[in-house]
Amino acid sequence: MSKVLVKNGRIVTAIDDYLGDILIENGRIDAIGRSLDVADAEVHDADGLLVMPGGIDAHVHMETPMGNGVETCDSFETGTRSAAFGGTTTIVDFAQQFKGDSPKAALERRLAAAEPQCNIDYGFHAILTDVHEQALSELPDMVNREGVSSFKLYMAYPDVLMVDDADIYRTMRKVGDHGGMVNLHAENGVVIQALIEEALAAGNTSPKYHQLTRPQLMEGEATHRVIRIAELAEVPVYIVHLSAREALEAVVEARDRGIHAFAETCPHYLFLDNSEYDRPGFDSAKFVMTPPLRDRECQEALWRGLRFDDLQVVSTDHCPFCFNEKAHGLLKSKQVGHDDFSKIPNGAPGVEFRLPLLFDGGVKGGRINLNRFVQLMSTAPAKMFGLFPRKGTIAVGSDADLVLFDANETHTLSAKTHHSNVDYSLFEGREVTGKVRKVFLRGELIVDGDQWLGRAGMGQFQKRSASGRVL
Ligand code: URP
Ligand code: ZN
């Protein structure tokens, strides 16, 4: 492969911030210096731009079946292209085991679907929904050979995805023995189910009841409970899509006692609040994701958590369903639940807007500094999920996944201009400062302004190491 030289940029990592040039050879960073001159290199001038490691989004759901034929509306191809335009060069999606299924078989299915399509690098967390002996026996190989070192369990959605506390404990012991990480969707699923049944019995079917039946207290309770189970099992635990103040308090309390509890939040919890559910008619179905949007106090608590490292990662939980059925059919749309909030597919889009939103609201907004921004977008997820130092930093020997970012360009977020299949945005019309100008994946320029230069299938599966050992 030819040499690529990125010159005159302001190189920003989770700890550094300096002017320099980056020489790329064979997809890796070969040298970093103050003034590099290489005769046969393709040169990109980054004067006036930030040069940061490519974003890592550790929580996305591309072409994911949700049961009853419902599926997210981005394929691996469209979803990863959209991610790339937003400065993300690696995603970690999910390989879901169905009841009676083998986790390895689930991984093989997802690998087969992803491989010809992905435009950026990718990995998978395994989802376990049926913790039988055979499934548990496959986990060591998943960690040590397959490069799947994190396992997601659900405390929500009884009879579909939920596993009980004993299964959580058993999985934690097995995964922990091999240095893996357990990710938890922490909500008290059975109490929430009772609340849903109560609401429906009273004739309350509109989307706002999604929020009213998933209270903050039940996220806090489940978060506290599962951290205690992890403490007993002596394994690190990672809480996905943390949204409620009560859940954050449980994480902070555990971390203060030296427990290895970690958590991510998502842009929608940082920038939006539960007043969105007051929208008239079915429009508020656009905001039906789990957990639901919370109050303003939670928002402030989450920002504080990011600032002081009570929260370590910001992922999108990109789980897109169109609002209108015309775009990609009823089964990829929110309209499935038009007459019953409990049938609205849970999930919201956002993979393209994570960097611009966090830069604008976080760095420009004075809530986090630039190094912390890089840490949240790239370095921390790389370390948390066994991709570091191949990914997540700018260093000699690391993959040349780079984002050239204009810190001063203002633009408007909109579904009219984004690259996802989804037909709406949670952030429609929001003006932000900070725009992705160029994106390199292992040294290849894949985004140049509005131009797409990537190729379906160029993304590579990333075998991840067992990060639970080193955290
Ligand atoms: O609403 C969400 N987060 N959808 C994805 C599935 C889940 O609940 O985690
Ligand atoms: Zn999710």
Average pLDDT over residues 150-171: 98
In the prediction, which pLDDT does 437 show? 98
Contact 118, 456 (CB under 8 A): yes
Long-range contacts of 168-172, Cβ-Cβ distance < 8 Å, separation of 24 or more:
168/226, 168/229, 169/229, 169/232, 169/233, 170/131, 170/136, 171/128, 171/131, 171/136, 171/139, 172/229, 172/230, 172/233, 172/235, 172/237
Ligand having the closest approach to the CA of 59: 2
Q: Which DSSP category does 376 fall into? A: I
In the prediction, which pLDDT does 123 show? 98
Which residues have C-beta atoms less than 6 Å from ligand 1? 61, 185, 241, 289-290, 317, 319, 346-347
Per the domain annotation, does 326 fall within a domain?
yes
Which residue puts its alpha carbon closest to atom 2 of ligand 1?
A: 347
CA of residue 61 to ligand 2 center, whole Å: 6
Per the domain annotation, does 194 fall within a domain?
yes
Residue 471 has pLDDT above 90, yes or no: no
Domain that holds residue 332: 55-364
CA of residue 370 to ligand 1 center, whole Å: 29
Ligand having the closest approach to the CA of 347: 1
Residue 237 has pLDDT above 70, yes or no: yes
Q: Give the tens place of pLDDT for each residue, 344-367.
A: 999 999 999 999 999 999 999 999
Per the domain annotation, does 428 fall within a domain?
no
Per the domain annotation, does 250 fall within a domain?
yes
Average pLDDT over residues 172-188: 97
Residue 470's pLDDT band, with cuts at 50, 70 and 90, is: confident
- How does the average pLDDT of the chain come out, rounded? 97
Average pLDDT over residues 174-201: 97
CATH code at 84? 3.20.20.140
Cα separation, 218 vs 216, whole angstroms: 5
Per the domain annotation, does 404 fall within a domain?
no
- Give 444's contacts (C-beta < 8 A, 6+ positions apart): 27, 453, 454, 458
In the prediction, which pLDDT does 467 show? 86
Residue 469's pLDDT band, with cuts at 50, 70 and 90, is: confident
Which residue puts its alpha carbon closest to atom 4 of ligand 1?
A: 347
CA of residue 271 to ligand 1 center, whole Å: 18
Per the domain annotation, does 34 fall within a domain?
no
Which residue puts its alpha carbon closest to atom 3 of ligand 1?
A: 290
Per the domain annotation, does 47 fall within a domain?
no
User: What is the best residue among 241, 319, 341, 426 to mutate for testing ligand 1's pocket, by most ligand atoms within 8 Å of CB?
Assistant: 319
Residue 110's pLDDT band, with cuts at 50, 70 and 90, is: very high
Per the domain annotation, does 279 fall within a domain?
yes
Q: Give the tens place of pLDDT for each residue, 52-89.
A: 999 999 999 999 999 999 999 999 999 999 999 999 99
Q: Which DSSP category does 207 fall into? A: T
Nearest atom in ligand 1 to 156's CA:
8
Indicate the residue type of 223: T
Q: Could you give the number of structural domains in the chain?
A: 1
H/E stretch holding 126: strand 121-127
Residue 1 has pLDDT above 70, yes or no: no
- Give 108's contacts (C-beta < 8 A, 6+ positions apart): none
